[in-house]
Amino acid sequence: MFTTYERPSLEDVMVRRSDATHSPFSLGTLTVSIYASLAPSHKKTAGTTSYELAQTVEQHLIMQYDISAAITTTAVADMTYRTLKRFDEISALQYGASYGIITSIRRRGRPSTTATSGDDVPELA
Q: Which of 8, 17, 55 is nearest to 34 (CA)?
A: 55
The pTM (predicted TM-score) of the whole model is 0.76
What is the model's pLDDT at position 11?
80
Per the model's pLDDT, the better-predicted residue between 121 and 58 turns out to be 58
Query: pLDDT tens digits for 21-58?
Result: 999 999 999 999 999 999 888 889 999 999 999 999 99
Report domain extents, the chain.
14-115
What strands, in cross-sheet order, belong to the sheet with 22-24?
22-24, 14-16, 71-72
Q: Which of 51, 47, 57, 52 is nearest to 10 (CA)?
A: 57
